[in-house]
Amino acid sequence: MTDRPSSRELLSAVERFLDEDLVPDLKGRRQFLARVAANALRLVAREMATESPSTTKRDPELLRQQIRQREYAGSEERQHLLRILREDVRAKLLVSNPRLLEADEARGRASPEGAADRA
């Protein structure tokens, strides 16, 4: 246990300091970089809130080698491969760009469990 404020509360305070105090006072490139910094903190906060952070379920290096060695060559194995790749990329996007994911899944496509049918 640690004392309050929690790491989340501190992150959130720094984020607001950047957005509300620094960004309006800065110009040009420094203003842009302050915005990027606030975005980076939001990413970190999302990652902390995710149960399995943006780490993928599978070992990407092993998958990489299997693909290079032409495993998953048959059509069913290929389907399986694309499904697990999508799951892993989805987990990363939940942290790095959830808005893109939401927009695509709201369009009813590109979700792992056939959200297309719901649209």
Least distance in angstroms from the C-beta of 71 to other proteins: 11
Nearer CB in complex with other proteins: 12/66? 66
Would you tell me how many other CB atoms lie within 10 Å of the CB of residue 37?
15
CA distances from residue 55 to 11, 41, 58, 72, 101 in whole angstroms, order as listed:
21, 18, 9, 23, 17
Nearer CB in complex with other proteins: 6/78? 78
- Residues in contact with other proteins by the rule CB under 8 A: 32-33, 36-37, 39-40, 43, 60-61, 63-64, 67-68, 70, 81-82, 85-86, 88-90, 92-93, 95-97, 100-101, 103-104, 107, 109-110, 116
